[in-house]
Structure 1
Amino acid sequence: MAPHLWSCFTRKGSNRGDGIAERRVSTADVASESSRGGGGQGAVVVEMFSSQGCATSPEAELVLSRLGRGDFELEVPVVVLIFHVDYWDYVGWKDPFGLSQWTVRQKAYVEALGLDTIFTPQVVVQGKAHCIGNDENALIETITNAPRFPAPTLQATFTKPAPDSLQVSLTGALRTKVDSSGANVMVALYESGLVTDCPRGENKGRILSNDYVVRKLEKLCTVKDISHKKTVSGTVNFPLWEGFNSTKCGLAVFVQNSSHQIFGSQNFQLPEDI
């Protein structure tokens, strides 16, 4: 039995004629809750660190799925991203979505937030505050009290240069000033509608459902000393996994500074025919 404390611890398309599929998504086509924020304010980024090897994570995953669907009817729009860590793999079940990269990301938050332990399911909101993922009241309060920033006005072009590769080009304004400390514009590719039969470990015998699972995370660019109107652009390349289905995937773009705080985000659904 794993130790527990709190939870678990320790469009329109074009044919280019060169065999490359390309689809462009404009800000008018963005399936983004960000555009619904009052006064031009964008969505709040809600990250959860989870594991199929943690007994209390499945319930938290359901809460976050409901959050992403809008079941809580919050006035604050959200972008939900779930990172599966790998430090529970030793318990008896290796999480098929767990990556050491996400464990490193969570540890950076633990340090930035001044915490003395790492646990699942942990929710981090706007990179600034945290709570337990299966505590609905704390989750809603943390989201409601989170700082909000203008949503970027990025346009996205999706290209598949090969069957197992997705290229995303983004250009537009961040709509938030970035000072001399600088910030990174990050792009996350996530997948929903995942179902796993778990025959071993803490969740033995359960059918696990997972949404908003981050499969890839890349840096679009680093910005410094720019105004809110300054146009930024860049391209990221994602190697695709077996069984990739664009209709189950989405793309989240967010701006994060060196203190790990997030200020500005935008969410895209992938074109169905990419």
Structure 2
Amino acid sequence: MARGFFSCMGRGSSQERAAAMADAAAEENQRGDAVLVELFSSQGCATSPEAEILVSRLGRGDFELGFPVIVLVYHVDYWDYTGWKDPFGSSSSTVRQKAYVEALRLDTLLTPQVIIQGRAHCVGTDQEAMLSAITSAPRFMAPTFQAAFQRPSPDSLQVTLSSATKNKIDEQEANVMVALYENGLVTDCSNGENKGRVLANDYVVRKLENLCSAKEISAKKTMLGGVNFPLWEGFNSNKCGLVIFIENNAHQIICSQSLALPENL
């Protein structure tokens, strides 16, 4: 299990440079107005591969939307009964999807399903509905995090995050989440509904951790925290990235940011 730590520090002289760097980065890349798109998918579902291709294109910027879109793909485990166990499926992904079903007052789980900013949903293969929901989704400016990466051991990754906040986050019942995802996954599917197909998956969430709660975030502070991710066999930082997002108690996304991992970490 990943372990996290978090603290808030006033802008004393020892923290001014870190705060200035975070502020400069925010002004430079303005990534705080991104829309977070989450796909719930499974290699055991016949229509999920089509949705995976669509959101991969979305993540690459194939659609000219005029603002950044951040993509995360969660592989659920409730399709494993069909005869193919999704190697990236997990019960935690299923639990997250069930939380959205409850929050959005939906009747049931469906796959593939896309959730936009935690506020709207559509079938993952419906390009028109997805793009419409994305363009109409609310967007919010976010704290811009700076990240430092270390490998304390061959099977762990330590990520230290800092961000200078200009305003207090109003959502008291909110959490800062950190997702580690992987691109370029290729699987020969030998059973189930996709038997005989070669499946390509991008933006697959390998680990999702809670950095801290918004109760700990106040204005004019430098946030400092970190998580230790246990790594999987074959981990390659060149294929991975990090997404930081803040969600309220209803799982509505307040803001999100994407960060690249250093090459050959």
Report the TM-score, using the length of structure 2 for normalisation. Answer: 0.87
Structure 2: stretches of 5+ with no match in the other structure = 1-20
Q: Which residue of 2 aligns with 1:102?
A: 93
Q: Which residue of 2 aligns with 1:128?
A: 119
Query: Partners in 2 of 1:229 and 1:212 — Cα distance?
Result: 33
Q: Which residue of 2 aligns with 1:35?
A: 29
Determine helix, strand or coil for the equivalent of 2:96.
helix
Query: Partners in 2 of 1:225 and 1:234 — Cα distance?
Result: 11
Give the number of the structure with larger relative contact order, counting CA–CA contacts within 8 Å between residues 6 or more apart: 2
Structure 1: stretches of 5+ with no match in the other structure = 1-25
CA 69–29 in structure 1, closer or farther in 2 if over 3 Å, else same? farther
Q: Which residue of 2 aligns with 1:44?
A: 35
From the two aligned structures, give the one with the greater helix fraction. Answer: 2
Instruction: Report deviation, 1:230.
Output: 3.3
Query: Partners in 2 of 1:46 and 1:174 — Cα distance?
Result: 24
Q: How does 1:73-152 map to 2 (within 5 A)?
A: 73-152=64-143
1:235 and 2:226 aligned: yes
Equivalenced residue count is 245
Q: Is the 8 A contact 1:35 1:151 kept in 2?
A: no
For 1:181, which of 164, 172, 179 is the aligned residue? Answer: 172
Query: Partners in 2 of 1:71 and 1:98 — Cα distance?
Result: 27
> What root-mean-square deviation, in Å, do the aligned CA atoms of Structure 1 and Structure 2 show?
2.2
Greater alpha carbon shift after TM alignment, 176-185 vs 257-266: 176-185
Query: Partners in 1 of 2:177 and 2:166 — Cα distance?
Result: 15
Instruction: Report deviation, 1:80.
Output: 0.3
Report the TM-score, using the length of structure 1 for normalisation. Answer: 0.84
Determine helix, strand or coil for the equivalent of 1:127.
coil
Query: Partners in 2 of 1:177 and 1:126 — Cα distance?
Result: 20
- Equivalent position amino acid for 1:53 in 2: G
Equivalent pairs: percent with the same residue?
66
Superimposed CA distance per residue, residues 175-216 of structure 1 (whole angstroms, 9 cap, x where no aligned partner)? 563236331100000000000000100001000000000000
Q: Is the 8 A contact 2:207 2:229 kept in 1?
A: yes
- Segments ≥4 residues shifted beyond 6 Å: none
